[in-house]
Amino acid sequence: MTDRTNQFASLADFTPRAADLAAMRQYLHAHPELSFEEQETAAYVAARLESWGIEVTRNVGGHGVVGVLRQGQGGRSIAIRADMDALPITEATGLPYASVTPGKMHACGHDGHTAVLLGAAEYLARTRRFNGTVVLIFQPAEEAGRTSGAQAMIADGLFERFACDAIFGLHNHPGAPAGAILTRPGPMMAASDTVTIRIRGRGGHASRPHLTVDPIVVAANMVMALQTVVARSVDPTDTAVVTVGTIHAGTVVNVIPETAELGLSVRSFQPKTRLLLEQRIREIATSIAQAHGASVEIDCEHGYPVVLNSEAETAFATEVARELIGAAQVSTCPMIPGSEDFSYFLQHKPGSFLRLGNGERSAILHSASYDFADASLPVGAALWARLAERFLAQP
């Protein structure tokens, strides 16, 4: 090992603390709280940070907790974020530390993300082998989908109150080996938008369709035509998704209804593609409705933007990961059509979002059978500690 490798946090520093990390994670797993309800989780996090001598600010953007560690005279600052909220899912793992709250479960691994950052915080507070400021962001309501915890913390002055030069975050990655690290510069996770199309026809008796304008027929034509948006309007080298997820129309078989409604999930990785998708959906829906003599109302609700990783910060994080676990365990992350509100932080600060392997046999995210892999905890904690030390050792 090189001298530089020995200067900074290593996996060996965290392996002896694997049981402590698992205990924290399993406690959080057993006590899940939904978006905007993370009061007890936030209290647990704040108490841990304060017990290690870390300066704590509560209630940032709701139940958000921010810890600050300062050391030396360095003027640089790094922020690292973990999310804390759970999902409205009834757990089916049968684990001894399964959720004690029916209908609520850490089915996305935010218990693990929180434990990883707590583990790094304890180490950094104890060793203080850095020169500058570490900002530890424990965010609520990532799963909210619209007005999320990231937006709320930013609106509450996060970056004005806790200045940083760059921000980093991670998410576990089922299907990748436990403890592996995946990185990707540029677009990594998709923007997520919701489109609602309301069709108004003219209802009537099912036996006299010629006297009606059937909104179900209009909707059926729209569903088929919308499949051409990605296939024929988006550059084949780009990636996008248009999924019709809901159709609502009618209540009985002998009545042609007045209205029908389609609900679409739309995903994209480029801002120009995001605009193109909305434009083409509007054009197709409007023209088909007009061709059938129906009218249409279209609402497009923009959700989380693209997770757009900065080139320099991603290269730096990749280098640190390779130092930590070896180049063979660090790979390029595929583009992920799921979405993440860490994207809002990246609109304000340079930074990078990483993925941490959760095991090749891991249940998928948002599954009642999912569980965060405790074997990944020491790697995640060591990654954050080393990243902070390396970042704050730079001139």
Active site residues: 85, 142
Supply 378's token pair. 């020491």
* Encoded amino acid at 24, one letter: M
Rounded CA-CA distance 109/80 in Å is 17
* Angle between the N-to-C axes of helices 215-226 and 271-291, in degrees from 0 to 180, rounded to the nearest 10: 150
Question: Which residues fall within 8 angstroms of residue 349, CB to CB, at 6 or more apart?
Answer: 79, 159, 164, 165, 166, 167
Contact criterion met (CB below 8 Å) for 161 and 79: no
Q: Which long-range contacts (CB under 8 A, 24 or more apart) does 317-321 make?
A: 317/168, 317/183, 317/352, 317/354, 317/387, 318/183, 320/383, 320/386, 320/387, 320/390, 321/181, 321/183, 321/354, 321/383
Residue indicated by tokens 């139940």: 63
* Angle between the N-to-C axes of helices 39-51 and 18-30, in degrees from 0 to 180, rounded to the nearest 10: 160
